[in-house]
Amino acid sequence: MTRFAPGAPAWFDLGSPDVAASADFYTGLFGWTATVVSDPGAGGYTTFSSDGKLVAAVARHQIDTPYHRPYGPGNDQHGMPAIWTVYFATDDADALTKRVETAGGEVIMTPMDVLGLGRMAVFSDPAGAAFAVWRKGFMEGAEVTGVPGSVGWVELVTDGPGAARDFYPATLGLAPADTGPEGVTDPVWHIGDTPVAGTRTLGVTGAVRPHWAVLFAVRDCDATARRAVELGGSVENEPADTPRGRRADLLDPHGAGFSVVELREGYPAAAGGAA
């Protein structure tokens, strides 16, 4: 059974200049278990599990483009940027690459096979938000989403959703809905009737560039934010109540942005659920 429909967020990994240090931070923050992939060809790729189920991973970042520096030059003090990447499920990474080019996006990494696990490619949308796609092989994606300790939601952070309204339907098949859940004014992206991602409009300062953001579900937002600081991270936006639930926006020690949220009961969460 396929857990992720084409266009659904299916996998999430962190590009970091120091894989071991990043693994220490996130295992300390979320209680994850880190496992280094044994295949020499994996280059130290390290997966994260929550209660025995794959939720995310970290790899040494080898792509350095403006698209991979959404927080500006301040997050590259270690020589390379650090960023979380969202992978959307696809049945055909090569055909999708052509659609991205036709729709005005940019191909950052052409489709490539990954150790028999699947086939991936990396793109940016017309506004400069980087994202990846994943065609499953032996690995379909995250084994659990939408519960504490896993990815709870993803959102497109952009300076204006206008171009995105044309780009993502033409490439990933996502449909924007202007009437999201109560309190949400930016478009919510759907596959059929299922909400799978959100949108957040950037401020006018220009300090943050367009990107796809990852929100991790937690049981206690405030405690998680405090723990992040204890582990060497920082708080970008203090915990606050939002329509989705209590949320904080954080930076890890290498400058990668992510959020934590106490998902409100009955509110849409990341597609997939528990395997």
Name the strand (E) or helix (H) holding 160.
none
**Reading across the β-sheet that carries 130-136, which strands appear in turn?**
33-36, 46-50, 53-60, 9-16, 83-89, 130-136, 118-124, 106-114
Helix/strand/coil percentages in the chain, nearest 5? 20, 40, 40
What homologous superfamily is domain 151-263 in, according to CATH? 2,3-Dihydroxybiphenyl 1,2-Dioxygenase, domain 1 (3.10.180.10)
Per-residue model confidence (pLDDT) at position 274: 39
Length of the chain: 275
Q: Which of 90, 85, 82, 40 is nearest to 191 (CA)?
A: 90
- Integer-rounded Cα Rg, in Å, for the chain is 17
Q: How far apart are CA 51 and CA 49, in angstroms?
A: 6
Q: List the one residue out of 54, 46, 112, 56 whose CA is nearest residue 87.
A: 56
Query: In 3-state terms, what secondary structure has residue 19?
Result: helix
Backbone angles phi, psi at 79, to 5 degrees: 100, -30
* Contact assessment for residue 51 and residue 149, using Cβ atoms and an 8 Å cutoff: yes
Please choose, from the candidates 107, 58, 60, 51, the residue with its C-alpha nearest in 3D space to the C-alpha of residue 80: 60
Cβ–Cβ under 8 Å, residues 195 and 188: yes
Residues in the chain, pLDDT under 50: 1, 72-79, 272-275
Q: Look over the chain and give the mean of its residue pLDDT values, rounded to a whole number.
A: 87
**Dist CA 76 CA 71 (whole Å):** 9
CATH code given to domain 9-136: 3.10.180.10
CB 191 within 8 A of CB 200: no
> And the tokens for 257?
């942005």
**Domain residue limits, the chain:** 9-136, 151-263
| CA–CA dist 105, 97 (Å, integer) | 9
What DSSP designation does 73 have?
Answer: G
Q: CA-CA distance, 241 to 256, in Å (whole number)?
A: 23
What is residue 273's predicted lDDT score, i.e. its pLDDT?
41
Q: What is the pLDDT of residue 156?
A: 96
* Beta strands 53-60 and 9-16, pairing class: parallel
Distance CA 145, CA 256 (A): 20
Q: How far apart are CA 265 and CA 262, in angstroms?
A: 9
Query: Sign of the C-alpha dihedral, residues 238, 241, 244, 245?
Result: positive
